[in-house]
Amino acid sequence: MRPRIGVCLVGVALAGVLTVPSGAAVASTGDHPGDSLVVVTDKGAVQGFRAGEVDSFLGVRYAAPPTGTLRWQPPQPAQPWSGVVPATAYGNRCPAAASPNGPRTEAEDCLFVNVQRPTGLERGDRRPVYVFIHGGGLINGSSNQADMAAMVQTTGVVGVTLNYRVGLFGFMGLPQLTAQQGESGNYGFMDQQAALRWVQRNIAAFGGDPDRVTLGGESAGAWSVCGHLVAPGSRGLFHQAMIQSGSCYSHTEQQAEATGTAAATAVGCTDPATVVACLRGTPVGPLLDVTPQNEVLLPFALVRGTPTLPPDPARAVASGQFARVPVVNGVNRDEGRTPAVVYIGSTQEQYIAWVRDNFAANADAVLARYPWPANTDQFTAAYLIGAVITDSGVVSGIGGCAYRRLTRDFARWTQTWAYEFAHRTGPGVAPVPGYVWGAGHAAELAYLFPTFDNGTPIAPTFNAAERRLARDMKRYWGAFVLRGTPNATGLTRWPAYNRTGKVMSLRAGGQSRPISDAQFGAEHQCDFWDNLDNLA
């Protein structure tokens, strides 16, 4: 069953030739390489800046601008540059319509990475590396939403974030492109692979260890992480994985091509013989204007059955056909509260229609399990729809019971830790007066990256208990990156799911604690959902 929820999940998070051999040393003018803010990459030198105990190198080009004939092509190598290029500001965000993840942007020259490291690294230091892929439904989002400074300062890891093409520019399929290239629709995913290869070639120059790279992502970034676990071209580019509020969502080449064909028609590129050239000649603006947003459920996904991504990622994980690296897999207690905000003010009749539209023959069973209450207000439908989305995982497999099934799949094959972000009274992702956001989709990001909300600091609104949770989470994440286990001195022990069936419930004020798989299942009514026929 294809659900018809009229909203896209958004995951938030935040340039003389000087070519040198791969793995170049940190550039230095003294005994402490980290005291130099000039680093020589394989394409040229960049100069970062220091703020407190963190050195930042922002907006470093990792691939050529995907413009002109390079639009809808795999990423191409960046050209070498001469001199020392400033790396003191984030690069352009990739083209996207205005959204909660940021204002409209039409800049196609957007393939940049950012590196943040502790100050004072010694020559030869090789710190473990945490690469984070932002979310946004593969429609929007950017690396500036995940400022790594606080993570780096708290844990001592080297942090990397990256931009990748999104929407029609990153994940549009088209029959004519498929005929030319052997596949189409995975351009943004290929960008991520190019960035990971850049890390392998260059991170040692910044004091990072290319042999200890943890790849993490949230929402669509987490779909991407699962894709990298099964994609042949991603093997060896990372050594551990962290999946936040994600799944192994993908769709077929035919689905990707249908979206592209509709977009081409909408901008007037209808002649099959010239459609590719026509689309490449169309300005960014009109393409953004016809990009499916809220009216179509999750129109973009990784494209399976292609040379880049041969298997269905979900089936590959279930059968053990993936890179069996250590995995942390996590979910938020109230994932559905975020997309359900658009249903504030809906009536009982509209709620019933939504359930029938999404669950067809199973609708009566869902309505009996999640009934309309006697006492209601303007938020009732949103809370009910949010609960159904959360517990079922009906939106691309993100949420309670679908998350538990994926965790069990990982745990059959590799070392796996599981968590649920369960702090339900923090600041909302985009507060609506009176609406209780709970631990909604993306709510955990502010505790890891304090500028996740389009660069606007959220963390200063935290109370003391929430500040404790933010510190604890960064230490758990950092411990996994540093040592391959999310356990650190002074924190409640986080047992491995594959050994104990325990899920770490992350709570404010030092109250985080493991809960049983059975307790998690009861919380999300998994006995019901796991036995419901035809659940998407």
Active site amino acids: 219, 335
Q: Which two tokens stand for residue 29?
A: 């003018």
Q: What are phi and psi of 216, to 5 degrees?
A: -125, 165
Q: What are phi and psi of 347, to 5 degrees?
A: -90, 175
Cα(113)–Cα(210) distance, integer angstroms: 15
3-state SS assignment for residue 54: strand
3-state SS assignment for residue 46: strand
Q: What are phi and psi of 195, to 5 degrees?
A: -65, -40
Cα(436)–Cα(112) distance, integer angstroms: 37
Q: What are phi and psi of 412, to 5 degrees?
A: -70, -20
Q: How far is CA 181 from the centre of its chain?
A: 27
Non-local (6+) Cβ contacts of 335 within 8 A are 245, 389, 390, 398, 399, 400, 440, 441
Distances (CA, A) of 226 to 95, 246, 321, 417: 24, 8, 12, 15
DSSP state of 187: H
Helix 187-202 to helix 220-230 angle (10° resolution) is: 70
Non-local (6+) Cβ contacts of 237 within 8 A are 193, 196, 197, 199, 200, 213, 215, 228
3-state SS assignment for residue 254: helix
CB 507 within 8 A of CB 336: no
Pairing state of beta strands 416-421 and 302-303? unpaired
Q: Which two tokens stand for residue 293?
A: 């947003």
CB neighbour burial string for 87-110, b if at least 16 within 10 angstroms, e if fewer = beebbbbbbbbebbbbeebeebeb
Cα(389)–Cα(391) distance, integer angstroms: 6
217 beta partners:
133, 243
DSSP state of 361: G
Q: Which two tokens stand for residue 83?
A: 């001199």
Cα(305)–Cα(363) distance, integer angstroms: 32
